[in-house]
Amino acid sequence: MDTTSPELVIAVRLGAALLIGAVIGLNRDLHGKPTGVRTLGLVGLGAALVVLASMDFQADMDPYANPVSRVIQGVLTGIGFLGAGVILRDDSSKKIHGLTTAALIWLTACLGVVCGLGAWKVALIALVFAFLLLTVGGRIEDRLHRKWVSPSSPTTDA
């Protein structure tokens, strides 16, 4: 008999997706790429969030026959265009801005989908994780960046 609480299973799955995305984001940040801990952590969290929500669909139903799954696919595809509108490239510094905001737009759509499905526990746990990531993710990036990236490395801010 499995005595694991459903909330713990949700938290572990969402937390693992967030952590994996954040670790990959840290690698990208330390290599000077425009994504980082918060951006890829949010993307991992959002993807896991929608998968958890979709697990409530009937297993024996053809996914192409399910209008809800088609709506979810349309929302998540369409919201990508809105997120793309906030990504800017500064030609003078060659830096890209707005990726975390774009990831937040996509995550917000994922949270909206989950709320529409009535998966309140999943939405609340994901919201807490997103808030924690946004609150401490930048500080973690900064500290690790200072520790692992040489202070004498050239910058593009000149």
What average pLDDT values come out for the chain (158 residues) when binned by 10 residues? 82 93 86 84 90 66 64 83 82 85 89 86 92 88 79 46
pTM across the whole model: 0.71
Q: Is residue 44 part of a domain?
A: yes
pLDDT confidence of residue 17: 93
Whether 38 contacts 24, CB under 8 Å: no
Q: Is residue 154 part of a domain?
A: no
For 127-158, b where at least 16 C-beta lie within 10 A, e where not — what string? Answer: bebbeebeeebeebbeeeeeeeeeeeeeeeee
157: in domain: no
Q: Which domain holds residue 98?
A: 6-57+67-148
Q: In this predicted structure, what is the pLDDT of residue 60? A: 53
Distance CA 145, CA 57 (A): 42
Is the C-alpha dihedral spanning 72, 73, 74, 78 positive or negative? positive
Q: Residue 155 falls within a domain, yes or no?
A: no
Asked if the structure places residue 158 within a domain, the reply is: no
| DSSP character at residue 9 | H
Number of domains in the chain: 1
Inside any domain, residue 26: yes
**What's the confidence (pLDDT) of residue 150?**
58
pLDDT given at position 84: 83
